[in-house]
């Protein structure tokens, strides 16, 4: 799960946001500062601000070699906003660039499950399990992702519906 780049300043999201604002005052054209702003906005439960930040990052660096961080950020922000079809679209973009991207598979599975597309959700859980056997809800929670509690609960609920085992 190293693909999650969400631990900005050990959960000190307000401090991270202040530092990112400072970085953007110094260089408004830093795509990666905009990306960081997007992730911090999601963690502050502001998915629409996050989407704007990720869109700006992609405009600044349309051929970025780490584009998957932008597309995965968009998937996460749409998931947080409850826009599951959009999350699936952005997760698919991430998976086109990096077919083994586990977080994209997990968010796609959770989104499919929330949309009632259980068979498709289970297929994505099975694909992810091929890459990381033994991944469970318990292991996910042990990662201590810096998600707001309501986002973590929605994510876990979707993964459980998709068939990810509790233990």
Cα–Cα distances (Å) from 148 to 40, 42, 155, 158, in that order, read: 11, 8, 11, 16
Is pTM beyond 0.85? Reply is yes
Contact by Cβ (8 Å): 106, 3: no
CATH H-level superfamily of 8-162: Tetratricopeptide repeat domain (1.25.40.10)
Cα separation, 56 vs 88, in Å, equals 20
pLDDT, tens only, 114-141: 999 999 999 999 999 999 999 999 999 8
pLDDT, tens only, 53-99: 999 999 999 999 889 999 999 999 999 999 999 999 999 999 999 99
Nearest to 142 by CA among 160, 166, 158: 166
């Amino acid at each position: 799960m190293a693909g999650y780049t969400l631990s900005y300043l050990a959960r000190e999201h307000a401090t991270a946001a202040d530092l990112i604002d400072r970085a953007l005052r110094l260089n408004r054209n830093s795509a990666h500062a905009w990306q960081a702003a997007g992730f911090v906005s999601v963690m502050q439960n502001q998915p629409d601000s996050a989407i704007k930040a990720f869109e700006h990052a992609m405009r600044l660096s349309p051929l970025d070699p780490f584009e998957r961080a932008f597309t995965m950020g968009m998937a996460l922000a749409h998931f947080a906003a409850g826009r599951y079809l959009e999350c699936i679209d952005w997760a698919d973009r991430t998976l086109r660039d990096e077919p083994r991207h586990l977080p994209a598979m997990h968010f796609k599975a959770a989104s499919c499950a929330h949309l009632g597309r259980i068979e498709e959700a289970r297929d994505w859980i099975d694909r992810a399990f091929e890459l990381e056997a033994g991944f469970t809800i318990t292991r996910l929670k042990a990662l201590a992702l810096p998600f707001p509690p309501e986002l973590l609960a929605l994510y876990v609920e979707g993964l459980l519906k998709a068939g990810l085992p509790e233990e």
